Amino acid sequence: MRKGYSKRINNPAFKRYQKNANKYTMIFSLVLCSIVVVGFFIYGEISVEMDNPQALYIGIAIGAMFISIALIQIIQRLKDKTWDGVVIDKKVEDKQRKKYMKGTRLFKRKYWEEFTLYTVHIKGEDGHEHNIFVEDDNTLYDYYKIGDKVRHHKGLNTFEKYDKTGDKIIFCNACASMNDIKDDTCHRCGAPLLK
């Protein structure tokens, strides 16, 4: 029987995953910040359009924006809470979006790209609605059924199903990779599968 929420969520691997996610978010933002600041400084030195320190100040402002975004993401993860919900609706929509062909600098030809948007609507115990959006892949859409009870675990971006009986696949709650239900750990990140 694969009914019930897994106690494997208490495995230290999930805490390590969350800690590493925060660490890599900050490292990535610092690297981007450094590239932008150095790039704008060099531009200010060689450009006739903008001199330093104006170019440097713009680089610092953009770099600070990258760091701010990373800090907001980390704070949101730390403030996140575990909550339960129910799948209340699912939708499939055929959509279009405007795209531009790469070509000459002066003329960009636009065209319409068609795609299918799969949406799973989840209502949390607090009444808020949360949505899962996937384009052109119905795997996650088919995984959930209307009426399924789900749990969002603190600091993770995916949902654990309460009833996994009859499922042949399971999604890793750490990295969201699809795995065989018979596996015990995720083939991608090594975190325990919640089953």
Whether residues 94 and 65 share a domain: the answer is no
Whether residues 149 and 100 share a domain: the answer is yes
Is-contact 160 149, C-beta < 8 A? no
Q: What is the pLDDT of residue 151?
A: 97
Asked if residue 154 belongs to a domain, the reply is yes
Whether residues 99 and 173 share a domain: the answer is yes
Whether residues 174 and 121 share a domain: the answer is yes
Whether residues 50 and 132 share a domain: the answer is no
Which of these three, 79, 109, 136, is where a domain ends? 79
Mean pLDDT of the chain: 93
Q: Region 171-175: what's the mean pLDDT?
A: 93
Whether residues 58 and 94 share a domain: the answer is no
Q: Region 111-116: what's the mean pLDDT?
A: 93
Which CATH number do you get for residue 142? Answer: 2.40.50
Asked if residue 6 belongs to a domain, the reply is no
pTM above 0.85, yes or no: no
| Domain range for 19 | 13-79
Q: Region 16-26: what's the mean pLDDT?
A: 92
DSSP string, the chain: --BS--GGGGSHHHHHHHHHHHHHHHHHHHHHHHHHHHHHHHHHHH-SS--TTHHHHHHHHHHHHHHHHHHHHHHHHHH---EEEEEEEEEEEEEEEEEE----SS---EEEEEEEEEEEEEEETTS-EEEEEEES--HHHHH--TT-EEEEPTT-SSEEESB-TT-SEEE-TTT--EEETT-SB-TTT-PBP--
Whether residues 156 and 95 share a domain: the answer is yes
Asked if residue 140 belongs to a domain, the reply is yes
Asked if residue 189 belongs to a domain, the reply is no
Which of these three, 79, 111, 126, is where a domain ends? 79
Whether residues 142 and 157 share a domain: the answer is yes
- Where residue 98 falls among pLDDT bands split at 50, 70, 90? confident
Whether residues 160 and 91 share a domain: the answer is yes
Which of these three, 79, 96, 131, is where a domain ends? 79
Whether residues 139 and 168 share a domain: the answer is yes
Our count of domains for the chain comes to: 2
